[in-house]
Copies of this chain bind each other. A is one copy, B any other.
């Protein structure tokens, strides 16, 4: 394994001589092996290594023992070790992230903190081939073009992943062979819904019925697609510079040049433009990009088109401008709610987050003002939107149906605030007037199989 590790480092230029390297260490087999491998080549490359561990405070005792173990392991190898503590669960809830996302955010925050403190230039993290395969599957199922299917790279900015091409099994063997006794991260085995389902159910299923080497296969796919992605990026950059003029808060598109570009490049130019103006692509879907491409291609001078994120595009003869519109209040909105994915509601500057939780987790919590539980099997397609004319619902505890308008009047909600109240609907039936009242639909029962928790987080 050491040989493969060295080969990867050489092939992808991951480490330079005399460098300082920060290593993220959870205490599990992956990161402990990574640390040990780096330690092994310490003299060859004359590198200085710094361990960083985040005690996530989940399952108190075990998390503390993880931190203890990492600290001792580093001390034994005379590697400086930075241990931070933070309640990841609390943090994630507050920020409307999943536990996994929240943990990731915090870890990287501390990695970069140490990076700056010690003057390092690299952060080594311990994702392996199995992780990569899982990432591929996850992204494929969520719907990603080659942007997502290129998955994780060996190197990206300061981050390096020197054991990305090594199987989890090999890593475990390495730990045994060197008597490293890593900790087993219990959170991995239970609480992270999506990734664990992929690891423990989906991959074994695919492996049994379709492709026994599914992990290696997906890993190879990610490598191929990453090359393609890099090539496309270069093409896009070249075209973007030719076609787009950036100004403060807006871009100006040279129509003639834009129309000469291939559709695959046009799509990416549009995304780059929106990234420039808004710094993210939330709520921008394929169909919006398509519309805009058509618009740039054919619309007459003077035409305008509305886009999500409060953007507007207008034609001025041979130029097309994209910029922020001035006022967005009281606009209708509608977003599909996806389980396990935090959805940003631009109009409210808030997030809606739906997740499947266990009966235990449900019992130990309560429905709250911005936190509500439903019987997932009784829901259909979920959306979050603001009110529509004619909305009715069945407030829990009340007999029959009530017009939403009447409910708002009873609740003395001012007219101009009513459009800013998020409403959770299943198909088109109201489940929850967020912050106010739930309907009797989808109530959790004793025998409910799967429980959906929906949270709303105001930024």
The one of B145, B202, B381 in contact with A225, judged by C-beta atoms closer than 8 angstroms, is B145
The one of B197, B212, B224, B381 in contact with A209, judged by C-beta atoms closer than 8 angstroms, is B197
Oligomer copy total? 2
Whether B286 lies near A223 (C-beta < 8 A) is yes
Task: Tell me, yes or no, whether A158 is within 8 Å of chain B by CB.
Answer: no
Residues in B with CB closer than 8 Å to A227 are: 262-264, 267
Whether B210 lies near A142 (C-beta < 8 A) is yes
Residues in B with CB closer than 8 Å to A145 are: 221, 224-225, 228
A253 to chain B, nearest CB (A): 19
Whether B211 lies near A141 (C-beta < 8 A) is yes
Task: Tell me, yes or no, whether A443 is within 8 Å of chain B by CB.
Answer: no
- Known contacts A145-B228, A205-B202: A194-B223 contact under CB 8 Å: no
Whether A220 lies near B286 (C-beta < 8 A) is yes
Task: Tell me, yes or no, whether A146 is within 8 Å of chain B by CB.
Answer: yes
Cα of A116 to Cα of B149 in the assembled complex, Å: 42
A217's nearest neighbour on chain B, judged by CB, is B143
Residues in B with CB closer than 8 Å to A265 are: 231
Cα of A212 to Cα of B210 in the assembled complex, Å: 22
Residues in B with CB closer than 8 Å to A232 are: 228, 231-232, 264
A190 to chain B, nearest CB (A): 16
Cα of A190 to Cα of B284 in the assembled complex, Å: 41
- Contact size range, A: 35 or more
Task: Tell me, yes or no, whether A214 is within 8 Å of chain B by CB.
Answer: yes
Residues in B with CB closer than 8 Å to A209 are: 197
Q: Mark A384-401, 1 if CB is under 8 A from B, else 0.
A: 000000000000000000
A438 to chain B, nearest CB (A): 22
Residues in B with CB closer than 8 Å to A262 are: 227, 230-231, 234
Residues in B with CB closer than 8 Å to A142 are: 210-211, 217
Q: Mark A196-238, 1 if CB is under 8 A from B, else 0.
A: 0100001001100111111001101101110110111011000
A216's nearest neighbour on chain B, judged by CB, is B143
Cα of A224 to Cα of B271 in the assembled complex, Å: 13
Cα of A392 to Cα of B7 in the assembled complex, Å: 36
Most buried by B among A194, A217, A227, A228: A228
Cα of A232 to Cα of B194 in the assembled complex, Å: 33
Whether A286 lies near B146 (C-beta < 8 A) is no
A268's nearest neighbour on chain B, judged by CB, is B228
- Known contacts A231-B263, A264-B230: A141-B206 contact under CB 8 Å: yes
Whether A143 lies near B221 (C-beta < 8 A) is yes
The 3 closest A-B pairs by CB, nearest first: A143-B217, A231-B264, A145-B224
| Additional A-B contact list (5), CB under 8 Å, known A141-B206, A141-B211, A145-B221 | A142-B211, A197-B209, A230-B263, A231-B262, A231-B263
* Residues of chain A at the chain B interface (Cβ within 8 Å): 138, 140-146, 149, 194, 197, 202, 205-206, 209-214, 217-218, 220-221, 223-225, 227-228, 230-232, 234-235, 262-265, 267, 286, 336, 338-340, 381
